[in-house]
Structure formats: C-alpha cells, structure tokens
Amino acid sequence: MIRVAVAGYAGRMGSAVVEAVTAADDMEVVCGIDPFGKEAAFPTYEAIEQAIEGESFDVLVDFTQPSVVAGNVEKALSAGIDCVVGTTGMSNDTLDALASKAAGHACLFYAPNFTTGAVLMMQFAKAAAPFFPEAEVLEFHHCNKKDAPSGTAVRTAQIIASARGFESEAPGSETEIDGCKGARGALVDGVPVHSVRSMGYVASQEVVFGSMGQTLTIRHDSWDRASYMPGVLLGIRSVGDRTGLVVGLEEFMD
Ligand code: NAD
C-alpha cells in the first residue's frame, strides 16, 4: 500500500486527488495538509512540518499555491519523502534547487499538466515546431487561477522554442499601441503566450502555428478535474522508482 499525504486537500484539485487515491486499491490517504482545511475521514494538519512529525507517508502530493509549494516540497524532500507536484508557477531553477536538496533516493516529480491529452498536445507541438516560422500559445482557465501564464503554456512555449531553434519574425510588443501593453502576449522563450481568465473554463489551450498561406491549430480542453486523476495516480505509483528531478507526465507514460 502506498501511503499518500495530500497538501491542499481542501482545494479543487486536492479534493479530487483524495477521491481518486481513496478509490484506488494500492494506495491510501494517510493525512491531508491545508491551513484552510475541512472535515475529513483522515488526520489533517495545517502545515507540512506537523504532518511529517505526526504521520509516516511515502508520497506527498501537492496541489496548493505557487507561493507555498516550494516550502512544502523542500521539507518533504529533506525528510526523504517522494513528491508528486501539480502546483504550477515554479521556475526550472527552483525545481533544480529543490531536487538537489532531496535526501536519500527521494524524487521530485513535477507535471505542469497531468492529462494525457495535454501531454500529447505538447508532443504534437514539438513535432510541428520546426516546420512553421510562427507559433503562439493561447490558454484559457477559470478566473480563480492564481498564476499566469499557466504551467502548461510555459512548458509548451519552451518545447516549441527548443524544437524549432530559430527566432520568430512576427511583430512583437513594439507594435502595441499606447495604453494596450500586453496585446501581443508575454514572451516565453520567444514564443508569445496569451492568458484568458473566465468563468466557464476549467483548462484549455490552443497552439497556433503559421507559415505561408496556412495555419495549424492544436487544441486541448479539460472539462472536468477527473481528467487529471489517472496521471496523478500514475505519478504516485511511479515516483518511488526514480531519484532526483523528473518533469512531465510523458516520462512515465512511455
Ligand atoms: P485551490 O485554490 O482550489 O486549492 C489550493 C488549496 O491549497 C487550498 O485549499 C488552500 O487552502 C491550500 N493551501 C494553501 N496554502 C497551503 C499550505 N501551505 N499547505 C497546504 N495547503 C495549502 O487551487 P486548485 O485549483 O486546486 O489548484 C492548485 C494548484 O494546482 C494551482 O497551482 C493550479 O495551477 C495547479 N493545477 C495543476 C494542474 C496540473 O495538471 N499540473 C491541474 C490543475 C491545477
């Protein structure tokens, strides 16, 4: 039985993780961590230190907030606990620095997106990137999302930039008219990224590629948080076999 602690168990994603882990035969929720917790069928703590002190668990799953995730992960990794992290907003440097503090064989697994569809979207974008001079990423999320652009959009832009190996010639921020700064999006590794926040969305993304006389659009939509759960469970089952930093669900899907 894999013993799992869920940080952010009272949140939107954390609640779905608790349900999915509870329903799985080979793992159990040992405790939840959340300073704004709710009644639960397992012991709950307000802070990660208390959970590490009070319980014994193999994996910490973190779906919290960009401002707290690094602190949670650092404490768990230092205690030799594997981490499955979905909280977005950490830079590559932060991920590297955290993984370097892992004790023993502890692994930090971070997936900017746990849906198989988004992973495939990124792989298709990687395949298309060398063939199109222009690429832009448009992402659409619910309006309670605390970070912009999304972790998936940042990773997609990084993948496109490294796969194509040339600079875009599309007009950039220098063409934005007075009072409309940001109209051309944020540049992530030279790829414009546009973040839409609105009621009605869970998480969607389009990657638009352009060349002479044609565009190619790759689109993925998550309409329900259940779409993330097979990926989270795969991460929980796989993280014990790895050490150090692992980024992206594709590492385990193969
Ligand atoms: P949410 O606001 O509904 O939940 C976050 C929870 O974390 C809250 O209950 C909050 O009280 C709790 N929290 C705050 N500080 C904490 C701490 N120090 N320790 C423990 N818990 C703490 O947010 P959400 O919609 O569930 O999203 C959580 C994160 O997951 C966001 O960063 C979001 O972008 C990300 N996300 C990632 C994926 C993915 O596939 N990787 C998918 C969806 C969301």
User: What type of residue is 210?
Assistant: G
What is the C-alpha to C-alpha distance for residues 93 and 90, in angstroms, rounded to an integer? 8
| CATH number of the structural domain spanning residue 150 | 3.30.360.10
Residue 28 and residue 103 share a domain: yes
> Residues 138, 195, 6, 105: is their CA dihedral positive or negative?
positive
Antiparallel, parallel or unpaired: β 134-141 and 203-211: antiparallel
Give the pLDDT of residue 90. 92
CA 65, 71, 77, 79 dihedral sign is negative
Pocket test for ligand 1, best of 15, 44, 64 (most atoms within 8 A of CB): 64
Q: Are residues 106 and 120 in the same domain?
A: no
Distance 143 CA to ligand 1 centre (A): 14
Same domain? For 104 and 132 the reply is no
Domain count, the chain: 2
How many whole angstroms separate alpha carbon 94 and alpha carbon 151?
14
The Cβ of residue 15 has, within 10 Å, a number of other Cβ atoms equal to 18
Find residue 61's DSSP bridge partners: 6, 84
DSSP string spanning 59-86?
EEEE-S-TTTHHHHHHHHHHTT-EEEE-
**Of 131, 117, 134, 200, whose CA–CA distance to 172 is shortest?**
134
Answer yes or no: do 83 and 146 share one domain.
no
Name the pLDDT band for 139 (thresholds 50, 70, 90).
Answer: very high
What is d(CA 66, CA 150) in angstroms, rounded to the nearest whole number? 11
Region 70-77: what's the mean pLDDT? 97
Looking at the fold, whether 148 and 78 belong to one and the same domain comes out as no
Active site residues: 141, 145
Residue 52 domain boundaries? 2-110+225-253
In CATH, what number is assigned to the domain containing residue 245? 3.40.50.720
Contact predicate 88/62, CB 8 Å: no
Regarding whether 89 and 189 lie in a shared domain, the answer is no
Ligand 1 neighbour 95 (Cβ under 6 A): no
Which atom from ligand 1 is nearest to the alpha carbon of 231? 40
- Residue 254: what pLDDT? 74
Is the same domain home to 104 and 125? no
**Pair (126, 50) in one structural domain:** no
pLDDT in tens, 76-121: 999 999 999 999 989 999 999 999 989 999 999 999 899 999 999 9
